[in-house]
Each structure stands twice: as structure tokens, then as C-alpha cells.
Amino acid sequence: MPHHRFLLIIYPAQGHINPTLQFAKRLISSGAEHVTLCTTLHTYRRISNKPTLPNLTLLPFSDGFDDGFKLTPDTDYSLYATELKRRGTEFVTDLILSAAQEGKPFTCLIYTLLLHWAAEAARGLHLPTALLWVQPATVLDIIYYYFHGYHDCLLSKIEFELPGLPFSLSPSDLPSFLLPSNDSFIVSYFEEQFRELDVEANPTILVNSFEALEPEAMRAVEEFNVIPIGPLIPSAFLDGKDLNDTSFGGDIFRLSNGCAEWLDLQAEKSVVYVSFGSFVVLSKTQMEEIARALLDCGHPFLWVIREMEEELSCREELEEKGKVVTWCSQVEVLSHRSVGCFLTHCGWNSTMESLVSGVPMVAFPRFSDQMTNAKMVEDVWKIGVRMDHSVNEDGVVEGGEIRKCLDAVMGNGEKAEEVRRNAEKFKGLAMEAGKEGGSSEKNLMAFLAVGGYGSCN
């Protein structure tokens, strides 16, 4: 096998950090000589449980916002993106050159979503690159089509099919930033990302997914060399090869205490786990509706509430009937025997983590790829139910609808049985893909054996 020295650069978001850290560990355990993993100084400082491995170096760089950049309706994201690109490009270029001068050149740059400028810099220095796609392959395909001739079709029809994808989609299943009604600035960054991929012949895209989960989506776009290498989950919860590997090691929020102890006290599959990931902020009214549903559903619940500007009216009752924390080790929680269902925003990592643990979901997507992930959870894999799209005049999903979905998954009806059965099935397939000799493990070994990683013109 060639000697690999990887340079990994991550966008500073929890949902990008976790799978990339796991990927770095996987590269090392699969024989890579060294991995240098870079992210912004602000994020680096926030991570309290960084992994320490002899062949792994974590290297921060300044994006010009070392105290953080808070995105609010009044801030201009392009200010941040421009500075990140300028400083990041300089950093990556210097790092690649100095490593070569020291006689330890990098052999490949791997970058996550929205850091396409890093690939551009690497290509300029003839270093091969690969994109680590931290969303499902289906979303990769949809965005590709959007920028390659299907824009009008996607936005003008009530229901449509895309080449190579085995199910039809409606606008509400699309990544929300593609919809004109969202007026999202993010779409222009995705466009840059996909234009950057167009420059390369058959670019390598490593996807945090696995063959049996999205077989058609892996091959839908001929122009890409898509390599499924997921699920990127700590080894203890997947292949069991390293039982000490129980966390990603990238938490940018402080862990609350007592989750495991509380879960130990609950009956098997009785708990509703609730989390909206690291990014989503819900209105107080929406939170009150969720609280109502949880208090009425008759099940114990563990609810992650990262921050709240205003206290919930029923806080005391919530603390009595369930447990409320500001952050937990989600992979540990989901693998606990007492968890029966995950009320989730369907971020891709949360979806994969739930799937690996065989926990059925109540999908409550808010934006971005969550919409497509939720569609697949409900209609394609049938491992959960999706909240009704309809909201009341305040844009809020009401407690009654949330409660209905919780009952559907936690109850004894036909639907509950179906989603539990399928959740077990996909858990098995995920384990199969991740274990030694499984499809994802083989794909990673083949990627490492080739050592060419696509083009480096």
C-alpha cells in the first residue's frame, strides 16, 4: 500500500466535524501513515474531548473570527465566507508547500462541503483531492441535477423523477435552500462547490453512507466517482473493533452529566429521545408545543435543549417527567437499550446514528438536506414517520400532530411494528457495511490501495 499522508480540512460545524474525525480515525486504523486535520481556531478551542492518536495532528487556522461568527438575520454571511476562503487558501497552500519542503509531503487533500477553495489550492499544487460528502448520496445527486439542467423541472412540478433515483420527489422533499421561496444565500456556495467539481474529470467523492442504503444514488451521476465509506460512527457502536472508541471526540458543546444513569433507570425501549442537532433554533411557541406532546405522550423522554432565550412555561413538569440536558453523547444515548424512538430534525449524522442503533424516528425536518433525509426515513426506508408539513398560521407544528407521530412509532399498531422491523433490518445492513470485509470497509481499502484519488491536473 502506498504511504499516505492525508490533509483533511473541515468546515467548522458539528455535523461536519463528527464524521470527519471518525473518518480520520478510520484512515489511520486502515494503514494511513499520518493524518493532519484542520479546522478554524475558534472551533478547535471549543472542542473539549479531542482525540489523541500518535498519527493524528489537529491543526487550527484562523478564519479571522477567532471569537466566533454568529449568523443572525442582520449579519452578512458573505463577510465570513470571503474571509474563510482567503485565509483558508493561504493556510492550506503554505501547509502543503512546507510539508513538501520538510520531506513529508501530503499525498491527498480531503475536504468537506463548502471548502471547495481548498481543493482549488491543492490542484494548483498538483496534490490529488477528494470531497468528503457528509450528506446522503441522494442529496448529492439532487443538487448536481439542479445545477445541470434540471433546475426548472425541479421547481415547476408537483412531483418529479430524476435520472437514476428510484423514487419520485416533490418540492417539499428537496433540500430547502434550492427552493426559490427560501431566498437562501447558501445556494450560491453550493453552486461554487459543484462548479469546482465540474473542473475535475470524474472527481472522487467519499460519501458517509453505505451501498445497501442508497444503491441507485451511488451511481446516478456518471460524472462522479462516488465511494460510500459510511457509516462514520465510533467503532464501539459499529464494528466493535475498538471498544475504547466511544465518541467522535469533537464536541463543541459542553456535555451534560447524568444521561446514562437516568437512562439506566428506564424500561427497555420506553424513552423518547429528542434533539434538533447543533444548528436548528426553534421558537418558544414551537418548543411549548413539543413540550405539550412529550408531557402528554405517556413516555419518559430525554430532551436536548441547547439554549433558550426564554424559559418554557412547563419547565418544572418537564424535569419531573423526563430529563432535559444541554448536550449529550448522542451515539451513547441512541445505543442505550431504553431508547425507543428519536424525535429528530433529521440532520444526516443524527439520521445515520439512529439507523445504526436500530432506533425508529419521528422526523421533524426544518431546513437544508433534512427535508430529503426525512422523506427517505418515512417513504423509502420506512424506519419512521414524518411530521405533517402543514403548520398553523404562526408557522408552528402543533402538539397534537407531534403526539400523533410519537404514538404511531411508540405504540403497538401496524405502523409501529413496520418501522421497528425495518429499523432492525437497516441496523443489520449498516453493521454489515461497516465491519471487516463489509462493503464500506472494502471501498476504503480500495481507495487507499489506488493512491491516485482522482485527478490532480
Q: Which residues are catalytic?
A: 16
Nearest in space to 55 (alpha carbons), one of 84, 94, 27: 27
Nearer to ligand UDP, 61 or 273 (CB): 273
At closest approach, how far in Å is the CB of 224 from ligand UDP?
A: 22
Nearer to ligand UDP, 194 or 279 (CB): 279
The sheet with strand 339-344 has its strands ordered as 323-325, 301-304, 271-275, 339-344, 361-363, 384-386
Contacts of 342 (CB under 8 A, 6+ apart): 272, 273, 274, 275, 334, 350, 354, 359, 360, 361, 362, 384
At closest approach, how far in Å is the CB of 351 from ligand UDP?
A: 7
Binding status of residue 278 toward ligand UDP by CB under 6 A: yes
Residue from the set 80, 147, 167, 279 that interacts with ligand UDP by CB under 6 A: 279
Span of 8-16, 54-62, 117-125, 187-195 interacting with ligand UDP by CB under 6 A: 8-16
Angle (nearest 5°) at CA 367 between 210 and 234 = 35
Residue from the set 138, 275, 357, 443 that interacts with ligand UDP by CB under 6 A: 275
At closest approach, how far in Å is the CB of 176 from ligand UDP?
A: 13
Span of 38-46, 152-160, 276-284, 432-440 interacting with ligand UDP by CB under 6 A: 276-284
* CA–CA dist 211, 86 (Å, integer): 37
Span of 10-18, 118-126, 309-317, 393-401 interacting with ligand UDP by CB under 6 A: 10-18
Nearer to ligand UDP, 58 or 328 (CB): 328
What grid cell was written down for 19? Answer: 464524521
CA distances 388 to 102, 170, 207, 407, Å, are 58, 14, 29, 14
Q: Which alpha helices (DSSP H) does 125-185 contain, by range?
A: 137-147, 151-156
At closest approach, how far in Å is the CB of 21 from ligand UDP?
A: 10
DSSP state letters, 399-437? HHHHHHHHHHHHSSSHHHHHHHHHHHHHHHHHHHHHSTT
Nearer to ligand UDP, 160 or 273 (CB): 273
At closest approach, how far in Å is the CB of 122 from ligand UDP?
A: 25
Q: Which alpha helices (DSSP H) does 201-358 contain, by range?
A: 215-219, 259-264, 284-297, 315-321, 330-334, 348-357
Cis, peptide link before residue 231, omega less than 30° from 0:
yes
- What's at 169, amino acid-wise? L
Q: Of 12-31, which residues contact ligand UDP (CB under 6 A)?
A: 13-15, 18
Which residues is 275 bridged to in the sheet?
344
Span of 63-71, 77-85, 113-121, 277-285 interacting with ligand UDP by CB under 6 A: 277-285
Nearer to ligand UDP, 128 or 277 (CB): 277
Span of 11-19, 209-217, 405-413, 421-429 interacting with ligand UDP by CB under 6 A: 11-19
Q: Of 321-380, which residues contact ligand UDP (CB under 6 A)?
A: 327-331, 347-350, 353
Nearer to ligand UDP, 160 or 327 (CB): 327
* CA–CA dist 347, 15 (Å, integer): 8
Buried b (16+ CB within 10 A) or exposed e, 175-196: bbbbbeeeebebbebbeebbeb
Contacts of 4 (CB under 8 A, 6+ apart): 27, 31, 32, 33, 34, 107, 108, 448, 451
Number of residues that bind ligand UDP (CB under 6 A): 19
Contact call for residues 353 and 331 (beta carbons, < 8 A): yes
At closest approach, how far in Å is the CB of 353 from ligand UDP?
A: 5
Binding status of residue 304 toward ligand UDP by CB under 6 A: yes
At closest approach, how far in Å is the CB of 431 from ligand UDP?
A: 18
* CA–CA dist 241, 434 (Å, integer): 10
Nearer to ligand UDP, 108 or 339 (CB): 339
* 230 phi/psi in degrees, rounded to 5: -95, -175
What x-and-dash track marks residues 45-84 binding ligand UDP by CB under 6 A?
Answer: ----------------------------------------
Nearer to ligand UDP, 128 or 250 (CB): 250
Contacts of 411 (CB under 8 A, 6+ apart): none
At closest approach, how far in Å is the CB of 106 from ligand UDP?
A: 27
Binding status of residue 231 toward ligand UDP by CB under 6 A: no
Give the binding site for ligand UDP (CB under 6 A). Answer: 13-15, 18, 275, 277-279, 304, 327-331, 347-350, 353
